[in-house]
Chain A
Amino acid sequence: MQNQDNILKIENLEIGYPSKKDVNNILFKNINLSGNTGELIALVGKNGIGKSTLLRNIAGLQESIKGDILFFDKHKESYSRTEFARMVSFVSTEIVNINNLSVFDLVSLGRFPHTNWFGKLRSDDIIKSKRALEMVSMDSFARKNVNEISDGERQRVMVARTLAQDTQIIALDEPTAFLDLPNKYEIVHLLNKLSKQENKTIIFSTHDLNIAIQEADKIWLMLEDEIIEGAPEDLILNETFNKIFEKSNLSFDKLKGDFRMKRTHSEKIGLIGEGVYYNWTKKALERLNFLVKKSNESILNVNIEEKDDRHVWKLNESGNIHEFNSIYELSLYLKKIN
């Protein structure tokens, strides 16, 4: 196996759009990052901060302004086009939607840097393309057309194409962008699995921080003027995540590993209950700007009780008891009296 530490090293990189007239086109400076084998890396940051540009620099689609990107201790520029294409593959945000292009043909395009001038697929190329489809569980779709499959399936096929390209590093620009929630989780989980199983270094940009925290081995966090890397758990514990949306109303919940709106609580409310019912009722009350206390001593108190196999919410409004059958009914009443 390759030396663990030297797959990808980014040193003092400066990215942006070079222009002859001015130097104002620099998007991001002083980027120092690294990537190892068997690692899934999530690139996180605000819109427009330069995530795509960084990925395009790594994937060799764009020149950097300053600094170095090293693959296996060698400069990016020292590789030939084909050598580079055998080392790094890329999935962009562009949706590939071509009539009459079969899934297998699309995946086997990944063999491009391995085939001869005519693009003839040798048996080895066919086996590798088929295996790539198996790895993303899309082998039964080989003969289908790419415009007949769902977005989630297409994203898997695009991943299979990079697997057929047989590269150590795979860079993906927002692979979860168009997907529904289950598909988002599945594709990132698949990337995680592939990074371990195939010992690849997979880098993807995303806005789905929850998923990134759960699946990624490392997070590259792009803040206003610095980029920080570390295990998601490290970044949670040292409160780095809070810096992402410093200027907005979001704050990071360390315990839950999730963002929530910063709220200004107006009134206290007591809540007694158990398990998930307690948690979700608390969430609803917080949405209504209450400061929730696990006690019975406020002016307003809610008790969640079980009654004939179902739950009821009893609101004690300074002695007057109201009973509600759902959180929604409770919240309607609370809105009215506020």
Chain B
Amino acid sequence: MLKKHTSFIWILLTVVLLVLFVFDIVLGSVQIPLKEVLKIIFTGQSDHPEYLTIIYRFRIPKAITALFAGFALSVSGLQMQTVFRNPLAGPFVLGISAGASLGVALLVMGISTFTIVSQIGVIGNWTIVIAAWLGSGLILFLILAISARVKDIMTILILGIMFGSATAAIVNILQYFSNESMLKAFVVWTMGSLGGVSLTQLKVLIPSVAVGLFITFMLIKILNAMLVGENYAKSMGLNIRVSRFLIFFSTSLLAGSVTAFCGPIGFIGIAVPHIARIVFKTANHKILLPGTMMIGGIVLLLSDIISQLPGHETTLPINSITALVGIPIVIWIIIRNQKLSSL
């Protein structure tokens, strides 16, 4: 009976995911009839060339970005919650987003401070991505170096938060000394955006996320053992150092790549694993991991649809939407469960 129940959930999630994916492509500031959209998706042709451009150049890349960003952020959040055995952990507890924002801040505002260049256009899309990647890579390197030496996992958590605060402080100083247009460019980046990822960039984002997800799926057994704490995991024969390395590496790859391309998108990583626990009522990562991934894709697609305010010209920053979607979910979980204190 339980098995039947679970397979029903899987089917439902898949259907919802597909429907939202299509909706995300259909809905936008320019109204394109559903018929046209389906025709374009399945035949690749349309009587309206401008529709083709909109769908292929903008909406499909954006929907795919939302899907993969949802996968990546929620899965890395789940990993961090398991490793730190803390329900409030998320993909950014290691300071990855702080590192990325330091990279971007140094680029955007550092350049404007030390040179006369003040035109945002000079700084290309790729440059921002690389800067963000370098920033989060630096933090990852520090965390890995520490985790090889420090025995207590909680120490690593605290150090991660310290690194985050330290980089945020540096970013603040940079903001203080930068000019208005650069400051705005940076603030816009921190609000996150799924729409800025081009088809070429997707060719980098998708493989990065895919590799990160692949490593995580290889770690299911290890994550299950980590649930009962590192002491028990070690007593069952787990190599703690190697496991930590792999988990931190895949988390950074997942969260770091998404942050580099889309900016720091919050809340998905913390909220979605909890939703998956409620839906599947299990702590076993064999179910929880794919479940979290699916729900992560669904939630970010939904957030993206809302952020576009279908029918309107403007779009809202995705970061605000994920927070506004995520916070009620977390509050509901806390009130319903009252057991968020343990995983």
Contacts and interface: CB of A to CB of B under 8 A. Distances in A.
Q: Please determine whether chains A and B interact with each other in the same assembly.
A: yes
A237 interface: no
Given A98-B343, A147-B342, A112 B220 contact: no
A96 B228 CA distance: 6
Given A99-B342, A105-B283, A119-B221, A94 B237 contact: no
B125 to A, nearest CB: 39
B232 interface: yes
Interface residues of A, number: 32
Nearest to A162: B235
A100 B277 contact: yes
A109 B224 contact: yes
A81 B237 contact: yes
A61 B284 CA distance: 25
Given A101-B283, A109-B228, A118 B220 contact: yes
| Size class of the B contact interface (CB-based, 8 Å) | 20 to 34
A110 interface: yes
A92 interface: yes
A90 B236 CA distance: 8
A106 interface: yes
B239 interface: yes
A113 interface: yes
A148 to B, nearest CB: 11
Interface string A94-125: 10111111100110011011010111000000
Contacts of B277: 99-100
A147 to B, nearest CB: 7
B231 interface: yes
Contacts of A105: 224, 282-284
A266 B127 CA distance: 90
A205 interface: no
Contacts of B339: 99, 147
B116 interface: no
Contact of A98 (B238, B281, B286, B342): B342
B236 A110 contact: yes
Contact of B218 (A84, A96, A117): A117
Given A100-B283, A102-B282, A117 B221 contact: yes
A59 B237 CA distance: 11
B225 interface: yes
Interface in A155-178: 165
B283 A99 contact: yes
B234 interface: yes
A81 B239 CA distance: 8
A165 B228 contact: no
Contact of A119 (B224, B229, B282, B343): B224
Contacts of A89: 235-236
A214 to B, nearest CB: 28
Given A85-B236, A100-B343, 6 more contacts: A61-B235, A92-B231, A94-B232, A105-B224, A109-B236, A112-B233
3 tightest A-B CB contacts, nearest first: A85-B237, A119-B221, A101-B283
Interface of B: 218, 220-221, 224-225, 227-229, 231-239, 277, 280-284, 286, 337, 339, 342-343
Interface of A: 59-61, 81-82, 84-86, 88-90, 92, 94, 96-102, 105-106, 109-110, 112-113, 115, 117-119, 147, 165
14 contacts: A84-B237, A97-B342, A98-B227, A98-B228, A98-B342, A98-B343, A102-B282, A105-B282, A106-B228, A109-B225, A112-B221, A112-B236, A118-B220, A118-B221
